[in-house]
A and B are shown apart, each in its own frame.
Chain A
Amino acid sequence: AQSVTQLGSHVSVSEGALVLLRCNYSSSVPPYLFWYVQYPNQGLQLLLKYTSAATLVKGINGFEAEFKKSETSFHLTKPSAHMSDAAEYFCVVSLMEYGNKLVFGAGTILRVKS
């Protein structure tokens, strides 16, 4: 069963526009949730993480995500896109039933138009 689903493999926004990358998870128990960013030919860098302390999580580079249990969602947002935000973004869950290993979504490639 798919544990994490990212809606949209490609998202395109104009510079200065709102960025919204969607992520839904499937778990009976609230998991740990993460967003990672990957620039071309590089490893993954942690953007932010949800660990039940607060539902609105702020990360690096102006990104934030809100955990909504009723919607089983953890969407990533940024008020104003910058050219340097162009990258691939992964929504990731850590589930007890998987021995707390990370399970990755398929990724969303963000394109920022000038």
Chain B
Amino acid sequence: DGGITQSPKYLFRKEGQNVTLSCEQNLNHDAMYWYRQDPGQGLRLIYYSQIVNDFQKGDIAEGYSVSREKKESFPLTVTSAQKNPTAFYLCASSGQGLPNYGYTFGSGTRLTVV
């Protein structure tokens, strides 16, 4: 079945460490997105990519980095510059030029700083 796979489901990070969250999709979607979710704040867009080898900053990109070397993969790195990284991270994808179809979401990664 087609879908989006996020790994790991739970991740613990020490202060000052960089960590990378994986997102893989087999839906042949062009666009991929990373969101951060905090209680009571909905989802906030971190980065998005509409095509391979191209990506744009979202609303809260500081302290994060991404790459899009393959259509299927859009990993997110949470760097030590992100001062408050504890959150639930969601990856999503959509077909290019199809805004009325919405997004398909992965099951999320919960990151905790210890």
Contact = CB atoms under 8 A, between A and B. Distances in A.
Contacts, number: 52
For chain B, which range describes its interface: under 10, 10 to 19, 20 to 34, or 35 or more residues?
A: 20 to 34
A9 B42 CA distance: 10
Given A41-B108, A106-B40, A100 B99 contact: yes
Q: Report, as a range, how many residues of chain A touch the other chain.
A: 20 to 34
B83 to A, nearest CB: 22
A107 B90 contact: no
B99 A43 contact: no
B40 to A, nearest CB: 6
Contacts of A107: 40, 42
A68 interface: no
B108 A42 contact: yes
B80 interface: no
Interface of A: 9, 32, 34, 36, 41-46, 49, 51, 90, 92, 94, 100-102, 104-107
A107 B44 CA distance: 12
A81 B10 CA distance: 32
A102 B34 CA distance: 12
A63 B110 CA distance: 29
A102 B42 contact: no
Nearest to B43: A104
